[in-house]
Structure formats: C-alpha cells, structure tokens
C-alpha cells in the first residue's frame, strides 16, 4: 500500500493566506474575527465574523467568467493554484493529466443564488443570469480547478457540511492508496457570510451572542463563557501525492496522511449525540487505519466550534478514546471562526505544521476552561512538543458526519522545512 504524503498546501483564511502567516497568527493569538461593516448587508445578522482577504476573480478566471461567480469558487481556485505551485506541480510536466484528480467540496455558492433570487424578484424571469449554475453549483470549484489546470482524472465534490473538507482528504487518501491516481488535489471552500445563511444560523441560536464589543473574544472553544460559533469564510487545499511519485520528482513532503475514520452519529440533523460515541468510533477507526494506537498521538486539533453541546460531546469522545492520558488538545477556530467544511482542511494544514515544527498552537480565549470540558488544553500560548510523531484532526458536521484524520512524519526522502 502506498504511503501518501502532503506535498503542497494553499490557504485563504481570516488569519492569512500562507502557512507561515496562519501558523503565526494561531500561535500568537492574532484573531481574524471582526465586526461586519455597520452599513453592509450583514449588519443586524452577524455580530462578528471571520473575514478572509479579498481574492480578485480575474487572478484565476477569464474576464467574462468573473462577472458572476461565487466567492467560494474564487477562493477555491486561488488556494488550489497556490497549493499546486507550493508542491511544484504543473500538470502534464510533473504528473500525467489522467493520474491527477481533484476533490473540492463545500456548500456551493449559496450567496450567489440568494442574490439571483433577489434579482428575479425585482426584474422577473429575464433578470436571471444563464451563468448562475457554473457560478454556484457545489461541484464547480472542482470543475473549474480541473479546467484551469488540465486535471483529467477523478473529480468530485463532497457534501457533508462541516465535515466535507476533512472527508475530501480521506477520499483522496483512499484514491491514492488504491493506486487510482498519483496526485489528488483535495480541499474545501466556503463563503457563508451573506444574510440568509447568517440569519438561519442566528435563528437556530447557533451563533455566539453578546460579543459585539469584544469581537475577538467571541469564539472560545471549551471556555466556560462560550455561547456559540462564529461564522467564517475561507478555503484550504492540500496536494496529496503517492510518496514514490513525490520521491521520483524530488519533492519534499510536509507529512504523511496515515489514516482516517468516517462515522455518523445517526442521532439528529444538527445536534451531536451527547454520548460522543459516533465521534469516538471515528477517532478509533482513524487510529486503526493509521496502524497506530492512542498513545502515539501527540496532539489533537479539535473540531471545537465554541458551542456548548458540540464542545462537550467532543470532550466526552476524546476521553473515551484516549482515557486519562489524552494528548494535548487545541481548537484553532478561536481565531479563524468556523469556516464550515473548509475548517477541516485549514486545520489539517495547521496540524501538519504543528507536527513539523514540534510546536502546538493554543486555543485562544480559553481563559476559564469549562470544568465539564477538562482535557490537557494548550492555552495561553503555544506549547513546544519536541519529538511528536503523530497528530489528529477532527471535523464534525451537521447531519452527524464525523471525520478524523491522522498525520505522521513524512516518508518521502526529503521533508519540507516548516
């Protein structure tokens, strides 16, 4: 069975667009959360959100296609181009076009659909753009990345809400282990900062409230004062590659993707099962898939969205898997907000960098840990962890979807310096 290595990464997040920038923000507690513009469409819907930097559509698309395209697709294309460049891969030169795939996921361009519904209400049938579907369908990030880079192998898009990005990594691992590709571009992109989505999260009472005067304090996983998630936007893309293929072209790996788990709580559309059994089974499955035991994990990047029930269920699950010797845990959504499906890929990148550096990013804002959430929390600054060999990243989504990913030191001859 092939070893599978992460050979490139591309990020568009509220705390930066390079691995260096993102990791520095997380270690220093530099938050990407801010109040929305008081005169903008989100005022009244969101107190605080994680805004990613602007990405010019013209930097990734031909001019006629830039007029109507959702931000999630533009961010996905930017992150994918950056990840392929980071891996040093040009399709056709470094990999056979039919041996590279793309799995790029997310909820699709719902903001663009919302805007077109408004146009139709105002102007009628003729106001609706023929470009709407390529501008917003959930598979269009994968499709447009395939078109731009000439990727002719497997392509797909996963729709498992906030587990979609992590699941894309797992699906990529499966393809590469089955020798159905040499390289797979995996990732997720989400642009949820528009009124209708903000309002449904708000009306469902899922959002952090009461933080308008302290926006950077709004996301506080595992803290006693946590009271909801903070929506964020962004994209994360990893280039996964068979280690032999990377070695053959002299490429260095960041880390190996060693295993993954995928389960469902089979409990409720939006609430995690309080016994954490589905999530625990998922983590155990990931350990088995990686061929290691719980004692081998040196760090867990938790899903940790800062909701009361979600954080608690994850803590219960982590304790079930790791017993009284749970590894250090942190939740980096404290500074990014919840990038929905994209969070699993961004947090995979962070986990991989933590592994490479032997330095664990903290959970920012974890000032007063909830006694019900007791774990070995990394807080109040990064924690050196020299010699760690394996890390885990958890992602859980509406629908009860659970994904856990396990990363280990790179098996390529060359290792990326991080």
Partner 1 sequence: MSTEEIRAFVLASLSAMNYDTTDVDDDTLLGPAGADLESLSLAELGVRVEEEFGVRFDDDEAELLGTMTVGEFGAAVAARIQAAPTAGH
Could you say which of 24, 53, 119, 129 contacts partner 1 (CB under 8 A)? Answer: 129
Choose the catalytic residue: 338, 364, 390, 401: 338
- Reply yes or no on whether 267 is catalytic: no
Beta carbon nearer to partner 1, 67 or 380? 67
Choice between 66 and 264, CB closer to partner 1: 66
Asked if 119 interacts with partner 1 (CB under 8 A), we say no
Tell whether residue 63 is a contact of partner 1 (CB under 8 A).
yes
Q: Is 386 in the site for partner 1 (CB under 8 A)?
A: no
121 binds partner 1 (CB under 8 A): no
d(CA 188, CA 385): 29
Contact 336, 13 (CB under 8 A): yes
Q: Given the complex with partner 1, which of 67 and 413 has the nearer CB atom? A: 67
Radius of gyration in angstroms for the set of CA atoms belonging to the chain, rounded to a whole number = 20
The H or E element containing residue 266 is: none
d(CA 327, CA 318): 9
The Cα 360–Cα 154 span in angstroms is: 35
Cα 175 to Cα 4, 71, 100, 157, 396: the distances in Å are 10, 28, 10, 14, 22
Catalytic-role residue among 27, 72, 162, 282 = 162
Contact 74, 60 (CB under 8 A): yes
Which C-beta is closer to partner 1: that of 59 or that of 295? Answer: 59
Binding residues for partner 1, total number by CB under 8 A: 11
Residue 303 annotated as catalytic: yes
For partner 1, what does the binding mask look like between residues 131 and 160, x meaning CB under 8 A? Answer: x--x--------------------------
Q: Report if residue 123 touches partner 1, rule: CB under 8 A.
A: yes
Q: Should residue 398 be labelled a site residue for partner 1 when binding is judged by CB under 8 A?
A: no
Residues 6+ apart with CB under 8 A from 165: 105, 106, 187, 188, 236, 341, 342, 343, 344, 345, 346, 348, 395
180/132 Cα distance (integer angstroms): 33
User: Is 364 among the catalytic positions?
Assistant: no
Specify the residue, 85 or 128, whose C-beta has the smaller distance to partner 1. Answer: 128
Supply the residues annotated as catalytic: 162, 303, 338
Chain contacts with partner 1 (rule: CB under 8 A): 63-64, 66-67, 123, 126-127, 129-131, 134
């Amino acid at each position: 069975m092939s070893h599978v290595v992460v050979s490139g990464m591309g990020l568009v997040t509220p705390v930066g667009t390079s691995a260096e920038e993102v990791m520095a923000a997380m270690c220093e507690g530099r938050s990407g959360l801010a109040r929305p513009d008081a005169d903008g469409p989100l005022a009244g819907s969101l107190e605080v959100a994680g805004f990613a930097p602007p990405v010019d559509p013209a930097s990734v698309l031909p001019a006629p296609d830039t007029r109507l395209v959702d931000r999630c697709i533009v961010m996905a294309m930017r992150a994918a181009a950056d990840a392929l460049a980071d891996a040093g891969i040009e399709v056709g030169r470094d990999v056979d076009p039919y041996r590279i795939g793309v799995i790029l996921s997310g909820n699709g361009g719902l903001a663009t659909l919302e805007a077109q519904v408004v146009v139709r209400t105002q102007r009628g049938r003729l106001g609706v753009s023929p470009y709407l579907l390529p501008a917003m369908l959930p598979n269009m990030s994968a499709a447009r990345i395939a078109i731009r880079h000439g990727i002719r192998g497997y392509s797909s898009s996963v729709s498992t809400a906030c587990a979609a990005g992590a699941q894309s990594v797992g699906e990529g691992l499966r393809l590469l282990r089955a020798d159905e590709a040499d390289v797979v571009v995996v990732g997720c992109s989400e642009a949820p900062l528009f009124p209708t989505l903000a309002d449904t999260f708000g009306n469902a009472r899922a959002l952090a409230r009461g933080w308008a005067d302290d926006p950077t304090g709004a996301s506080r996983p595992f803290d006693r004062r946590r009271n909801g998630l903070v929506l964020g936007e962004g994209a994360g893309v990893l280039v996964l590659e068979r280690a032999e293929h990377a070695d053959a072209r002299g490429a260095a790996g960041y880390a190996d993707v060693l295993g993954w788990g995928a389960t469902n709580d089979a409990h409720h559309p939006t609430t995690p099962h309080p016994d954490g059994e589905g999530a625990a089974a998922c983590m155990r499955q990931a350990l088995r898939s990686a061929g290691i035991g719980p004692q081998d994990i040196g760090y867990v990047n938790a899903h940790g969205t800062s909701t009361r029930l979600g954080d608690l269920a994850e803590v219960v699950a982590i304790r079930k898997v790791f017993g009284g010797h749970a590894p250090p845990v942190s939740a980096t959504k404290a500074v990014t907000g919840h990038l929905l499906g994209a969070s699993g890929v961004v947090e995979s990148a962070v986990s991989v960098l933590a592994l490479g550096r032997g330095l664990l990013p903290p959970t920012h804002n974890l000032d007063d840990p909830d006694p019900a959430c007791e774990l070995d929390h990394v807080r109040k600054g990064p924690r050196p962890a020299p010699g760690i060999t394996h890390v885990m990243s958890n992602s859980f989504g509406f629908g009860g979807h659970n994904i856990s990913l396990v990363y280990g030191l790179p098996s390529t001859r060359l290792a990326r310096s991080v």
